[in-house]
């Protein structure tokens, strides 16, 4: 006796089976839908938050680099030795370096573009020769690549 016949009284009819499946789906379907919708919404909110944070960091970085560029250009043009001018120049350079080093959301782009080393090289060249034109060329190249990375990512 390999298989015993199933008795008709114990076998669930097709109608009963469909009713059971629909009852389970009616109870669990909305719960699954709410769970899935919440997961999807959370993923989208997080992606938007990351994109907004990247945009903010790129903007802060460009602002700090622009301020340092302006301070270096003023220093090269006027060669002012007034304490407040030297202090403003040191502050602008410090803010630019800090801004380059403390980016969290755009760190992969910063490493790929090698912004830190290129900025150090550009400012080092400026201080060695006081050559503002070479510095500005390096600065423009760095800035252009940062803007390109910004528009590619967002």
**Rounded CA separation 148/143 (Å):** 9
Residue 68 lies in a domain: yes
Average pLDDT, the chain: 86
The helix, strand and coil proportions of the chain, stated in percent and rounded to the nearest 5, come to 85, 0, 15
**Rounded CA separation 152/103 (Å):** 18
Given a cut of 90, whether residue 4 has pLDDT beyond it is no
pLDDT in tens, 15-66: 777 788 888 888 888 888 888 889 988 999 999 999 999 999 999 999 999 9
Residue 36 lies in a domain: no
Q: How many domains does one find in the chain?
A: 1
Residue 109 lies in a domain: yes
Q: Which domain holds residue 92?
A: 49-153
Residue 22 lies in a domain: no
Tokens of 23: 């009852």
Residue 83 lies in a domain: yes
Residue 43 lies in a domain: no
Given a cut of 90, whether residue 148 has pLDDT beyond it is yes
Q: Is the dihedral of CA 87, 92, 96, 99 positive or negative?
A: positive
Q: In what helix (H) or strand (E) does residue 63 lie, and over which residues does it extend?
A: helix 14-78
Residue 27 lies in a domain: no
Whether this prediction's pTM lies above 0.85 is answered by no
**Rounded CA separation 77/150 (Å):** 31
Tokens of 127: 């201080």
For the CA atoms of 56, 61, 64, 70, the dihedral, rounded to the nearest 10 degrees, stands at -120
Residue 39 lies in a domain: no
Quote the pLDDT of residue 100. 92
């Amino acid at each position: 006796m390999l298989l015993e016949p199933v008795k008709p009284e114990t076998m669930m009819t097709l109608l009963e089976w469909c009713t059971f499946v629909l009852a389970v789906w009616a109870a669990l379907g909305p719960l699954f839908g709410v769970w899935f919708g919440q997961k999807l919404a959370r993923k989208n909110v997080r992606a938007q938050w990351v994109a907004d944070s990247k945009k903010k960091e790129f903007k802060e970085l460009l602002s700090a680099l622009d301020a340092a560029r302006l301070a270096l250009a003023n220093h090269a043009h006027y060669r002012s030795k007034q304490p407040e001018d030297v202090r403003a120049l040191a502050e602008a350079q410090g803010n630019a370096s800090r801004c380059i080093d403390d980016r969290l959301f755009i760190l992969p782009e910063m490493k790929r573009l090698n912004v830190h080393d290129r900025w150090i090289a550009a400012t080092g060249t400026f201080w060695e020769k006081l050559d503002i034109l070479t510095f500005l060329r390096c600065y423009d190249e760095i800035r252009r690549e940062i803007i390109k990375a910004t528009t590619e990512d967002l």
